[in-house]
Amino acid sequence: MGTPSKSGGVEKSAYTTVLGSLDSYDKGGVELINDDARHYAFSNIFEVASKSAPWEKVAVAKNFEYVLEAVRAEGTSQWRTAAHDEFVVCLDGAVTVELVKLDASPLAPDAGGSIALDGEPTGRPMGRIHLARGHQALLPSGAAYRFSAPSPAVLMMQTIAGPDTQFRWAEICQTV
């Protein structure tokens, strides 16, 4: 993004975008101008993941029933499924996603969020997706998925709030 110059062109900005990581991030914050911090939610996804247990789903943003969840990926997760599409973005590290098209979904069609499955899913294998930093994948409705990460990584999931979504606004948000 630049600023207009007197000659009508655009000058380069002095800003540089730097993406953090689990091991190196600056928290940042909201600069308030005649307002109250309680009107805003601000957290750092890398900080949230650094304080989370593996595979814990912590909401870092919410819009009606939709949430963005920070997930610390480490080891192998349980199999999960959702009655709606979900999206996952790898923000740090590398993660493999295994997908299985379920023979029958254990969820009602209008169920929100994902649930953990007991044991191995029954259905047709759909393949694997290898995610590295910046890669995004669709987790389709009616499919089971399992993540694996050889070393700690950070995922951001877009989903509908569900039974395993952790809301920790008091712990993660800027208040002053």
The predicted pLDDT at position 93 comes to: 97
The domain 43-168 is placed in CATH, from the list 2.60.120.10, 3.40.50.2020, 3.30.300.20, 3.90.1150.10, at: 2.60.120.10
Average pLDDT taken over every residue of the chain: 89
Q: Which residue has the tokens 């101008």?
A: 33
Residue 130: CA atoms inside 13 Å, Cβ hemisphere, count?
1
pLDDT over 70 at 123, yes or no: yes
Domain ranges in the chain are 43-168
pTM of the model: 0.84
The predicted pLDDT at position 126 comes to: 98
Identify the residue with better confidence: 9 or 63.
63
